[in-house]
Structure 1
């Protein structure tokens, strides 16, 4: 006699829940053990052990890197080791391969097995990532890979809770991890050459310093370029409003200024900056972009940072504030 459909579905749900709990507990135990014995990650010992595998050493090294990525072990030490063991280019490629595959496995664990566990540990990060990916897709993944806003290993898991496609996530991660990965591989290689007294040490050191400088400066350039794209001119904002775009105009001036002689943009919402934290629920779940303004830009920039940190958005900042809006002879209400 066949079981009722509801009973089968209930059994499947219980089985799935059990597997999720087992996965989360196993992952927690593995990470705790890895953290407890992280001091064993000695580059010299690991180099000797990997070299002992002979021709299979490259595959073993990649597997170690994958494991380290999944278990929250520091990848920088392994990247330096990879550069010293296999040379700057091959070592860098092996490290990037291990980091990308490990990041993909972490992503899939969060998406299919341990999502609740990841959400609890990621905290407010999840809201930021969900809003960012919804607004920008793979571009946001590229940004957080280049600009280290979030811890690398936790980011791998947290991005699994978003709706980004796996192939987009992997490609953006691989490309944007490359500058830092190659720089550290060259640094490891340069250190080995210097220790051995090689005549190539100076050239290797220059390569390492050059790539490391690029890796350190690139995030700043990317962040500045990205921030520039999040600014609206007064005329662009008016065009968006006249086109009927779903957009909330948030004025963070005090109420006396909002209703005063300078007036406010028709249809805008007023939440004074000092009240923003206590009235955050009014902005959660709006599911539409927010354009922020004040008298000029100082308070609106502060409001933007506050909302950014809480994962509310997408956000734009209107250049010049209400002062510029009036100078451009655009309509206001009082």
Structure 2
């Protein structure tokens, strides 16, 4: 009840502000205000961005606005400053004020994230900033539940948010240039497309760098024989698992289309080795990418899967 009343009051206040300043709510009017305000206007923008981040208001609109008002370079700096300050404040609120309440509300997500940070530290923060596994505003509060030092969190976040901030800021600058009839809009458009393409490539690059080499069936057989405490995850369907090829003794069957909903069951293997097997290795590779995105650190795909296992004459169960 109180949340709804607060939301209604904030909405009413926002509508009133928009009505009073309706003649200034366009880029030219805002730029005039920024030019007149100087450093105070810049500070006000950063404070607004900080507050929006803490209140979990999507910052994409403000990022685009920052690019339109301040240009690609200074816009990126101001957007990054606001996002970093907001992320830091949310982290502090979560850690020292509302940690228990947030943990209860987020359930399995917070447990998996706590385990991931415990095993990887700041590297997990870098991964989740570069690969958007969890929405930015929610992630700030969730990371406050972990034991990562505040200094590491702030520094890692600021560095790893640069690619996204630069790309979205430039898009805002590009939109303003298009509206104002910039003669060089074609060149700027090509550069904007290149930045967006690079931004989309970053998550794949991060996952590729974390990917382990494929494991041969002989290596898998040797490790199992030596009593290695690895999880052998078979991602074929249940019919295939019990079908003609059979399965490796001790393997656990979770079909690829059900894997994402069963990740909480695998939390004990965030830092322990996981070997993934299917008929060949296509579904295994897909499962490996999913596990890496969710913080599992020692993931191996079995090369050519059960096909290679059977061709090598290794024992199976049916």
Could you say which TM-score interval applies, normalised by the shorter chain?
A: 0.7 to 0.9
Is the 2:115–2:267 contact (alpha carbons within 8 Å) kept by the matching residues of 1? no
Q: Is structure 2 residue 222 aligned with structure 1 residue 246? A: no
CA 1:149–1:311: 2 relative to 1, 3 Å: closer
Q: Which runs of 5+ in 2 are unaligned?
A: 19-24
CA 1:259–1:157: 2 relative to 1, 3 Å: same
Matches within 5 A, 1:17-166: 44=27, 49-166=33-150
Q: Which runs of 5+ in 1 are unaligned?
A: 1-24
Question: Which residue number in structure 2 is paired with residue 16 of structure 1?
Answer: none
CA shift at 1:310, angstroms?
A: 8.9
Moved more, 177-186 or 286-295: 286-295
CA 1:58–1:113: 2 relative to 1, 3 Å: same
Distance 2:233 2:122 in 1: 27
Could you give the per-residue CA deviations for residues 103-123 of structure 1, whole angstroms, max 9, x where no partner exists? 121122212211233234434
Q: Which residue of 274, 299, 303 corresponds with 1:319?
A: 303
CA 1:139–1:235: 2 relative to 1, 3 Å: farther
CA 1:118–1:81: 2 relative to 1, 3 Å: same
Distance 1:315 1:37 in 2: 51
Return the TM-score normalized by structure 2: 0.73
CA shift at 1:163, angstroms?
A: 3.0
Q: Is structure 2 residue 178 aligned with structure 1 residue 194? A: yes
Q: Is structure 2 residue 199 aligned with structure 1 residue 208? A: no
Q: Is structure 2 residue 150 aligned with structure 1 residue 170? A: no
Q: Is structure 2 residue 283 aligned with structure 1 residue 296? A: no
Could you give the per-residue CA deviations for residues 278-331 of structure 1, whole angstroms, max 9, x where no partner exists? x969945645443332443466567768878998886544332233234456x5
Question: Which residue number in structure 2 is paired with residue 12 of structure 1?
Answer: none
Distance 2:209 2:107 in 1: 25
Describe the SS at the equivalent of 2:56.
coil
Is the 1:284–1:312 contact (alpha carbons within 8 Å) kept by the matching residues of 2? no
Question: Which residue number in structure 1 is paired with residue 21 of structure 2?
Answer: none
Distance 1:314 1:38 in 2: 49
CA shift at 1:93, angstroms?
A: 1.0
CA 1:282–1:200: 2 relative to 1, 3 Å: closer
CA 1:314–1:38: 2 relative to 1, 3 Å: farther
CA 1:51–1:194: 2 relative to 1, 3 Å: same
CA shift at 1:51, angstroms?
A: 4.4
Distance 1:221 1:285 in 2: 24
CA 1:254–1:176: 2 relative to 1, 3 Å: closer
Question: Which residue number in structure 2 is paired with residue 3 of structure 1?
Answer: none
Distance 1:217 1:255 in 2: 34
Describe the SS at the equivalent of 1:87.
helix
